[in-house]
A = this chain, B = another copy of it.
Amino acid sequence: MKVRDYECDMQGIVNNAVYQNYLEFARHEYLESRGVSFAELTKLGVIIAMVRAEIDYKRSLKAGDEFTVSVMASRPSRIRLQFEQEIRRAASDELMLKAVITTTAVNERNRPYFPAVLENIME
């Protein structure tokens, strides 16, 4: 991916919240690569709810930087999906950010709900 100028704040670096957008986009791409579309989940009444985000900011991406976002999924408990993610600047492979994102899947009444389609996203 590539930093877009509007994602930078007046310090000329990517705004802190924008990294969460990058992380989310990579997670959704990951799910899609396993046949799970976020839009379809929403239609099925499955809500992937974030439980906790731990984000370590190492260095700042700047306007025009190209970067990669990695995703490693695990299932630490029956009702948790966890994603370990890293953002690295493409040019130097430097680590810019590390995150552990813990989520759960719930139905519209906010009860844990892991339909079969979510079972095989790990590998």
Contact = CB atoms under 8 A, between A and B. Distances in A.
Contact of A11 (B28, B42, B60, B64): B42
Given A10-B11, A10-B12, A39-B12, A21 B4 contact: yes
Interface in A20-41: 20-21, 24-25, 28, 32, 37-39
A54 B53 contact: yes
Using C-beta atoms within 8 Å of the partner chain, give the interface range for chain A.
35 or more
Contacts of A13: 47
Protomer copies: 4
A15 interface: yes
Contact of A57 (B5, B21, B28, B51): B51
A63 B49 contact: no
Contact of A17 (B9, B18, B57, B62): B18
A58 to B, nearest CB: 9
Contact of A5 (B12, B28, B47, B63): B28
A7 to B, nearest CB: 9
A52 interface: yes
A55 interface: yes
A6 B6 contact: no
